[in-house]
Chain A
Amino acid sequence: DAKTTQPPSMDCAEGRAANLPCNHSTISGNEYVYWYRQIHSQGPQYIIHGLKNNETNEMASLIITEDRKSSTLILPHATLRDTAVYYCIVRVKTGNQFYFGTGTSLTVIP
């Protein structure tokens, strides 16, 4: 199973772009990268996912490097409500499993 490495914490000024990195150097060719976030002690919320190409939705953008060994989640205009723990997950091919790491605690500063 591919493992992910994320910085434990980051700060971002309100209104600025938040760029959250993730390393997944052992990712396999058909494994997807998923991002989730968890606000307070609620259940995690899906943000975005991708395989090879960069992806964008109404919440965020996902940039995956060409070698697929790392990715970056971009929140284009961070708000205070984006303060949360962000998890980068590589989805294993078999068994439909999701393994969460410890994530990055993002604090958006007014």
Chain B
Amino acid sequence: NAGVTQTPKFQVLKTGQSMTLQCAQDMNHNSMYWYRQDPGMGLRLIYYSASEGTTDKGEVPNGYNVSRLNKREFSLRLESAAPSQTSVYFCASSERLAGTSGTGELFFGEGSRLTVL
């Protein structure tokens, strides 16, 4: 059981280049998330998808786009990378809201380390 898988794990881009971070989960979770974490900082929510076919902005959506391709996959795209987007990106998924069955906890991938020169 792989859980949440992110690719690539490392990437170096030049300013202005585009790229897509891929995320897939095999736990049949409805909700998926993208976070970024800058050095010495907490995680900030970029976008999330509460269910297949829906996406919503989080705290820091500017400069990013997302696609919920199907229930398993949620991708994050940088159309024109900037040095300010140098960060570690985490994808996560969760089953359902607490109070129904399950804890509603987040399961995280290992992170994708992006450097924009």
Chain B binds chain A: yes
Count how many chain B residues have C-beta atoms less than 8 Å from C-beta atoms of the other chain.
Answer: 31
Chain B, range 73-117, C-beta contacts under 8 Å to A: 88, 90, 92, 94, 97-99, 103-111
Bound-complex Cα distance A91 to B43 (A):
14
Chain A, range 34-60, C-beta contacts under 8 Å to B: 34, 36, 41-46, 49, 51
For residue B45, CB closer than 8 A to chain A, the reply is yes
8 Å CB contact of B110 from A42, A46, A103? A42
The secondary-structure label for the interface of chain B is strand
A49–B104 touching, CB < 8 Å: yes
Q: Which residues of B lie under 8 Å from residue A87 when comparing CB positions?
A: 42-43
A103–B42 touching, CB < 8 Å: yes
Bound-complex Cα distance A13 to B38 (A):
29
Chain B, range 1-27, C-beta contacts under 8 Å to A: 4
For residue B44, CB closer than 8 A to chain A, the reply is yes
For residue A95, CB closer than 8 A to chain B, the reply is yes
B33–A98 touching, CB < 8 Å: yes
8 Å CB contact of A98 from B41, B99, B106? B106
8 Å CB contact of A44 from B41, B45, B104, B106? B106
A100–B56 touching, CB < 8 Å: no
> How many of chain A's residues touch chain B, expressed as a range?
20 to 34
**A23 CB, nearest partner CB in chain B, Å:** 16
Tell me the nearest residue of chain A to B32, going by C-beta.
Answer: A96
Interface residues of B (CB under 8 A from A): 4, 31, 33, 35, 37, 41-45, 48, 50, 56, 58-59, 88, 90, 92, 94, 97-99, 103-111
Interface residues of A (CB under 8 A from B): 30, 32, 34, 36, 41-46, 49, 51, 85, 87, 91, 95-103
